Amino acid sequence: MNETLLIDTDILIDYLLSNSQAVDFLENLTQLLLISSITVAEFYAGVGEGKERTVLDNFITIFEVIPIDQKNCHIRRFISAYFTKIISIFEK
């Protein structure tokens, strides 16, 4: 079974802004990359139409989008420590 990794919105924003740490981090991952439907909604809320929207549409296809439901909300507490470690990497 392939390993998966749920990517946080902030890391993706840093990647899109060409933050070298985020770029290196994401481009060296070998896991199947997941984003939540909440991340997708956050991106579409902040994007305009036209070229920007097309770029976002294409970017999202790189990931498997997972729906957020009650079950997924419960597992969040188990992965929050992991995200805290990842975020600390970018704050150094």
Which domains are assigned to the chain? 4-91 (3.40.50.1010)
pLDDT interval class at 65 (50, 70, 90): very high
Which tens digit of pLDDT belongs to each residue from 9-60? 889 999 989 999 999 999 999 889 999 888 898 888 888 889 989 999 999 9
Q: What is the pLDDT of residue 68?
A: 75
Write down the pTM of the prediction.
Answer: 0.67
- pLDDT for 58 equals 94
Measured CA to CA, the distance from residue 79 to residue 20 in angstroms comes to: 24
| Residue 7: burial class (beta carbons within 10 Å; 0-12, 13-18, 19+) | buried
> Phi and psi for 59 in degrees, rounded to 5?
-60, -45
Sort 39 into a burial class: Cβ within 10 Å, 0-12 / 13-18 / 19+.
buried
- Give the confidence band of 73 by pLDDT, cuts at 50, 70, 90: low
